[in-house]
Amino acid sequence: MSFKSRLENFIDATKEHIFSMSGRFHIPPLDFDQLYQLYQEDTSSKGLYEFIVGHPITLGIASRLGSRPIDVLAAMVGKTADACQQDLDAEIALREAVEKKIAEDREKAKAN
């Protein structure tokens, strides 16, 4: 391992330690960018927050940091976990309402 790569590893570890000591989470922008790209390719009806909170990348980050996935999302988007939870709940409620409406419309179409 070269001196440069050892130095970069040391600096990265130091940054992570400082962030963990401060109680703040450091989520590299690259992680959010990757998740957003995967969301763009996703074919499910999930919203962005719902997709991110349930994705294995987010779960891995949360596990590594010893936090909840909603905390990781909050760090990514610069909001509080409570605000993100409210947005997530609204997103899920909207998706469920749309799915319910679609199911009702299908039942009406079958009946006619």
What DSSP letter does each residue of 27-42 carry, written as one string? --HHHHHHHHHHHHH-
Instruction: Write the DSSP assignment of 63-81 as a string of letters.
Output: HHHTS-HHHHHHHHHTS-H
The answer to whether 65 and 25 have CB atoms below 8 angstroms apart is yes
Contacts of 80 (CB under 8 A, 6+ apart): 74
**Each residue's pLDDT tens digit, 54-103:** 999 999 888 888 889 999 998 888 889 999 999 999 999 999 999 999 99
- Taking the C-alpha atoms of residue 67 and residue 14, their distance in angstroms, rounded to an integer, is 19
pLDDT of residue 33: 86
